[in-house]
Amino acid sequence: MLSTLSSQLHFVKEIQKVDTAGIEPLRSLRDETAQGEKEAELDALAQEEVRGKHHKRIRRRRDRAVAKQEEDWDVLGTAQRKVGRYFVVEGGKDK
C-alpha cells in the first residue's frame, strides 16, 4: 500500500513539473473543437421536439428505456435500516 501511494505521489509531482504556461485549461473532457461542439449541438437538437401552436415549447425526448429504469428504481433498496419511506443514518457522538 505504501509503495502504491509513493508511486502515485511521484506521478503527481511529475505532472506538476509540466510547464502549462499559455495553455487554456479544459472545461470538460469532450471534443471542444469547433467541429466537436457543432456535432454536440446537432445531437442535442435531434433530441428535441416542438409542441404547441403559438407558444412553441421545446422539450427533450427521454429515452423510454432510461425512463422505465428510473421508474423501476428502488431508492431504498440498499438501505440497511428504513422507517417508512425514509432511510435511517446511524450517528451521534461517541461517549
Confidence of residue 54 (pLDDT cuts 50, 70, 90): confident
| pLDDT reading at 19 higher than 90 | yes
pTM above 0.85, yes or no: no
Phi, psi (rounded to 5 degrees) for 37: -70, -35
Q: DSSP states of 63-80 as a string?
A: PHHHHHHHHH--TTTT-S
